Amino acid sequence: MSDDPIQLLIDIPRVHGRDRGGRVAVHFEGRDLTYAELDRRSDQVAGMLQKLGVKPGDRVAWLGRPSDAWYEIFFGVAKARACFAPINSRLAVPEIAFILQDSGADVFFVTPEFFAAAEAVLNQVDREVLAIGVGGSAPAFMSYADLRDAAPAPTLDDPTPDDDVLQLYTSGTTGLPKGVRLSNANYTAFLNLRALVDGFSYEPDDTVLILMPMFHVAGTNISFAGMASGGRVVLQAEFAPKNVLDAFGAERVAHVFLAPVMINALLQTPGVEQADFSSLKTVSYGASPISEAVLAKATEVFGCGFIQFYGMTETTGAGTTLAPAEHRGELLRSCGRPWATLETRIADDEGNEVAPGEIGEIEIRGPIVMAGYWNRPEATADTIRPDGWLRTGDAGFMDKDGFFFVHDRVKDMIVSGGENVYPAEVENAILGCPGVADAAVIGVPDDRWGEAVKAIVVPAPGAAPRPEDVIAYARQRIAAYKAPKTVDFIDALPRNPSGKVLRRELRKPYWEGRDRKVG
């Protein structure tokens, strides 16, 4: 174990609140939250939750726009030995309701922008849930600030390594989201290992810009890495390219994580050539494919080291990394080598490691592998082998020097703009649309988003559905980013003898001459 005093996530406010309490932990929209204030307020949140009846192991949900209060509440939940479950705010009401129901959370923090959606969600949950408004007021919501400031002193028990501290939901191949249970032990490993990753060991005087959503492992982990170092986190709740470019100079940003779609958007923003990147040390990227042309231009414009991260929510975001010095030649297509002490391999269907150069499934083993899926023992068993290897669902190969390359997906997941979209979920939302007899969903190349969702539809006999009607029907049932962007029509879907749709055959004409890669 490292001699770093930050071994648990709750050590971040405790240690830095004591040792550097006057330093800014979070800067958000003109407000500064110091480490001392973060420690005090997260204590208040823990006391508030205990007064409300939250017990160790309980889930506490969040829906809304991220802010400095997100950090107060997260660390307060952790101090109470409960588990924070932020919900993707881009989801549709039925999807949010499913997650809230599944989590079992009886306390639900909501920001004003989502009050109406949250009320609709609460009407679909079969138990009483206490809704708390963060940064605004409405009749159905208690005031977070009032509850926090009136909270009694908490009873703070020592956490255990097995305590779940964060539960992030991922979409499921069957259309049902799964809660990924990340424990204190997972994050102790993450905090210790990050210092061994070239470019990821931030300094106490560094400013880290957070642009990824706080329901995404990249948003949470880059925040935790910056704060574990005692650095300053600058949070922007929305990705607005002009504001981001201004922030690099105004806030003296040293580190940032960007999805490739964000990198591409910044490169196309007027004024990018004049932006001040002089304080920037690293740009980390991942979550979706990136083209070599975009990466080359970004390296030239930003003028700093680039770090690729390949991992999953199920591996606490860790896995492999391509270091700044390795961004050259053929390695630009690689997702790098494993983090120190982590095991990564290419395996066949039976779990046997294959030789360098051979294609198989990328698998990861180590202390960063999730505790499991919440309430999903069968899905957990399908994902984690009995000997601890986690199946990523991505196919690839390892070269003779130990660099990993992602070749294609074992599963049919689509990655569009850094968001995971599963075809079965979208197909379920399309089937039932008037005039649709059958449908399959695939990812097709998109210069902006990496991949775009396309529906291949078989019209019902005598029907002639319009693409816009199919898209509108889906958007009423699932989040807009999951809905198809385009619709093509076909007489019959290609299927194997067991009836499974051959999506590879459907994808083939759209990917002719292009590599379908995972970033």
Q: What's 384's domain CATH number?
A: 2.30.38.10
CA distance 140 to 451: 40
Residues 387, 478 share a domain: no
Looking at residue 324, its pLDDT comes to 94
End of a domain among 159, 187, 203?
159
Number of domains into which the chain is organized: 3
End of a domain among 159, 192, 214?
159
Q: What share of the chain is helix, strand, coil (3-state, %, to 5)?
A: 30, 25, 40
In a domain, 195, yes or no: no
For the chain, how far is it from start to end, CA to CA, in angstroms? 31
In a domain, 167, yes or no: no
In a domain, 257, yes or no: no
Residues 153, 41 share a domain: yes
In a domain, 462, yes or no: yes
Under DSSP, the state recorded for 331 is G
CB contact at 8 A, 369 and 314:
yes
The three-state DSSP-derived secondary structure of 264-315 is HHHHCCCCHHHCCCCCCCEEEECCCCCCHHHHHHHHHHHCCEEEEEEECHHH
CA distance 97 to 115: 14
Residues 57, 122 share a domain: yes
Residue among 60, 51, 47 at smallest CA distance from 129: 60
CB contact at 8 A, 496 and 440:
no
Looking at residue 515, its pLDDT comes to 66
CA distance 472 to 502: 26
Looking at residue 172, its pLDDT comes to 52
Looking at residue 496, its pLDDT comes to 66
Pairing, β 436-446 against β 404-409: unpaired
Residues 430, 405 share a domain: no
CB contact at 8 A, 265 and 240:
no
In a domain, 362, yes or no: yes
CA distance 457 to 439: 4
CB contact at 8 A, 154 and 46:
yes
DSSP 40-104: HHHHHHHHHHHHTT--TT-EEEEES---HHHHHHHHHHHHTT-EEEE--TTS-HHHHHHHHHHHT
End of a domain among 116, 131, 159?
159
Domain residue limits at 464: 423-511
In a domain, 460, yes or no: yes
Looking at residue 398, its pLDDT comes to 97
Question: Which residues partner with 255 through β-bridges?
Answer: 208, 282
CA distance 437 to 430: 10
Residues 128, 77 share a domain: yes
CA distance 487 to 495: 19
Residues 435, 381 share a domain: no
Residues 428, 379 share a domain: no
Residue among 286, 282, 369 at smallest CA distance from 321: 286
Unique residue bearing structure tokens 């406010």: 13
In a domain, 189, yes or no: no
Under DSSP, the state recorded for 400 is T
CA distance 432 to 453: 19
Looking at residue 73, its pLDDT comes to 98
Residues 454, 378 share a domain: no
C-alpha gyration radius of the chain: 23
Residues 405, 429 share a domain: no
pTM for this prediction: 0.85
Residues 451, 377 share a domain: no
> What's the average pLDDT block by block, 10 residues per block, for the chain (519 residues)?
87 97 98 98 98 98 97 98 96 94 98 98 96 94 97 94 96 73 98 93 96 94 97 97 97 95 88 96 84 84 95 95 92 92 94 94 97 96 96 91 81 81 83 89 90 94 94 93 95 74 88 65
CATH number at 33 reads: 3.40.50.980
In a domain, 198, yes or no: no
CB contact at 8 A, 65 and 454:
no
CA distance 155 to 120: 34
Residues 445, 379 share a domain: no
Residues 436, 351 share a domain: no
Looking at residue 359, its pLDDT comes to 87
Question: Which residues partner with 180 through β-bridges?
Answer: 168, 373
